[in-house]
Structure 1
Amino acid sequence: MNDMEIDKEIKQLATVFPFGGYMSASEEAYINVANSVRKYLPTGGRILDFGAGPCDKTAVLQRLGYQCTAFDDLSDDWHLEADNRDKILSFARQIGIEYVMDYSILGSAECRGFDMVMLHDVLEHLHDSPRDLLNDLLALVKDGGLLFITVPNAVNLRKRISVLSGKTNLPAFDSFYWNKGPWRGHIREYVKGDLSLLSDYLGLEKIELRSCHHMLRVLPAPARPFFRAITCLFPGWRDSWLLIARKPSHWQPSRNLNESDYAAMMSRINLYNR
């Protein structure tokens, strides 16, 4: 299946997606995620999409022949508006996706043996270290299974330009100021080196770590060709990062640093803070 065929599936899926126009803003992301999964995981593989939200990326993979389980607490402000939560759960059932909202259920026997766990635009929302969460999720994955992460690039070209022009590279202040409850926006965004360290600390084998375009459509249409062209020369300026890593046989979660790793980390911190 090529990009045009995947794009056709995405457009057909958009006709039954409960939020009009939502999927049209992320077509590059859907194609990239679909191709990345198909590259490493045969059709029919079991996937856990953690932080799936409205199940848009999950649904694309389900339609391509994967067995998908989605997890999210669906407690963002927009999830709780009107009957949006019910619409999401109904859509998931319609597509054939199992939707889990209780985190404790992920520890059950039925929620083990996944071929891949993926987190798309999730890590940047965490208030604490992702260490325990990712170790717990990797325990649900088979030996030889995959962790698939995408995150916004903390130093993409658009953010560099914003900072140079005196604007913020953080979420808009009004969305933060008028937030109705606990802040669920971006807390800590990532760069390439962060994801490389993340994979190492988790004890995984890095398969692929690269930049990609997932948010081009937030830019005005005339600016997109320029953005594509310049990020061909400087790929680290693209809007997102993608990591795929493999869980080795006999993997064990690492919750703490050993003494030598701790000393090396403190040395880096002290050098940075001089």
Structure 2
Amino acid sequence: MRRRAASARATQALQTVQDAVFAQTDAAREWHRSNLVIHGLRYCADLDLVNGLAPEGPLLDIGAAPCHMTAMLQHAGYPVVGLDLAPQRVGPLIRTLGLDVRACDVERETMPFADGHFAGALLCETFEHLRVDPALVLSETWRVLAPDGFLLLTTPNVYSLPSLARFLLGRSVADPLSEFGKLRALGHMGHVREYSAREVRRFVEASGFAIERLDFRYDRANPSRRKRILNLAYHCVPRRFHRDIVLVARKIGSGAGPGLAPLP
């Protein structure tokens, strides 16, 4: 699917984050600004998806940094908690906007919340960064969600047109040296790997969720000539070759769930 024009509510939330970012020092702004340029429309699309799900209760944003989505959810009126490996990386923005972001290595630790605490959880553009135990992350997400709570998961599609083109040209989906280098440059892993929709579905269903929606999308707004050509190609191929996977699932049951413990 194409990304529809963002709602006024989402656009206002994005503007609030942009204003806060531009109030930071130049050194602090660089990472924020590049993320806002690349992901701003995606943030709006995800917020509109959350609005459509109409959650009644607190939300959890997993892998929150740079905390733009956390801030937009808060601006939209949702009680939201962010979890991040090292939230101090974006401490000035967290303090400026009064965000609740907590430190947690979600691949090695249990999440610091009671069972069934959240009405919904977002795992947006995070799954591809998990390098230790993505099954634990989904198991813990199931645990902290209320019965019928939703999971919104977005991640790059390994079978997108750009990825297939790289394979055909003898290149990897992402340069390993660059992606591992982000551990030191940014404090988190880059893209460990990208997944197919079938692989994401299997992970999510095995973790106790029922898939409510699974779709694909691409960003039509990038003005570069290369992107315009790519978007024309997207328009001509089945959706399964679009750039991103978008999945909405619901927690089913209220028993023990997957119940995975962190690896020793």
Match of 1:126 among 92, 105, 130: 130
| Aligned CA distance change for structure 1 residues 213 and 105 (closer, same or farther; 3 Å) | same
Per the TM alignment, residue 12 of structure 1 is displaced from its structure 2 partner at its CA by: 3.5
Give runs of aligned pairs for residues 112-261 of structure 1, distance below 5 A.
Answer: 113-171=117-175, 173-174=177-178, 176=180, 180=184, 184-213=189-218, 217=222, 221-232=224-235, 233-254=237-258
Residue type of the alignment partner of 1:249:
G
Q: Which amino acid aligns with 2:60?
A: L
CA distance, structure 2, for counterparts of residue 253 and residue 160 of structure 1 = 36
Number of residue-to-residue matches in the alignment: 241
Q: CA deviation at 1:214?
A: 5.7
Are the counterparts in 2 of residues 26 and 214 from structure 1 also a CA contact under 8 Å? no
Query: Aligned-pair distance for 1:156?
Result: 1.3
User: Alpha-carbon deviations, 1:131-157, whole Å to 9, x = none?
Assistant: 222111211111110111111111211
SS of match in other structure, 2:61: strand
Q: In the aligned structure 2, how far is the partner of 1:11 from the partner of 1:68?
A: 18
Q: Distance in 1 between matches of 2:220 and 2:67?
A: 18
Q: CA deviation at 1:68?
A: 0.9
Provide structure 2 residue ranges, at least 5 long, that are not aligned to the other structure.
Answer: none
TM-score, normalised relative to structure 2: 0.79
> How far, CA to CA, are the matches of 2:176 and 2:104 in structure 1?
31
Q: In the superposition, relative to structure 1, how do residues 100 and 243 fare at CA in structure 2: closer, same or farther (>3 Å)?
A: same
- 1:60 matches 2:72: yes
- Matched residue SS, 1:163: helix
Letter in 1 for 2:230: F
Gaps in structure 1 of 5+ consecutive residues: 80-84, 257-274
- CA deviation map 1:172-196 (0-9, x unaligned): 6455479649982222211111122
1:3 counterpart SS class: coil
SS in 2 for 1:92: helix
The answer on whether the counterparts of 2:211 and 2:249 sit within 8 Å (CA) in structure 1 is yes
Q: Percent identity at matched positions?
A: 20
After the TM superposition, which residues 82-97 of structure 1 pair with which residues of structure 2 at under 5 Å, given as runs?
Answer: 85=88, 88-97=90-99
Gap change, CA 1:196 and 1:216, over 3 Å in 2? farther
1:29 corresponds, among 14, 33, 42, to 42
Letter in 2 for 1:195: V
What is the letter of the counterpart of residue 245 of structure 2?
Answer: W
**1:147 and 1:193 mapped to 2: Cα distance?**
17
Distance 1:91 1:244 in 2: 29
Q: Which amino acid aligns with 2:203?
A: L
The two structures have a TM-score, normalised by structure 1, of 0.76
Distance verdict in 2 for CA 1:191–1:175, change over 3 Å: closer
| Post-superposition offset of 1:52 | 0.5
* Distance 1:178-1:224 versus aligned 2 partners, 3 A rule: closer
Please name the residue that 1:264 is paired with.
Answer: none
Alpha-carbon distance in structure 1 between the residues aligned to 2:132 and 2:110? 22
Aligned-residue offset at 1:170: 2.1
Question: Residues of 2 paired with 1:199 and 1:35: CA distance?
Answer: 22
Q: CA RMSD in A?
A: 2.9
Matched, 1:69 2:81: yes
The answer to whether the Cα contact below 8 Å between 1:124 and 1:189 also exists between their aligned partners in 2 is: yes
* Cα pair distance change 1:174/1:73, threshold 3 Å: closer
Amino acid at match of 1:135: S
1:190-244 per-residue CA deviation (whole Å, 9 max, x = no partner) reads 1111122123212212111111226975xx7112233223223321222111111
Residue in structure 2 matched with residue 99 of structure 1 by the alignment = 101
- Whether the 8 Å contact between 1:203 and 1:251 is mirrored in structure 2 is no
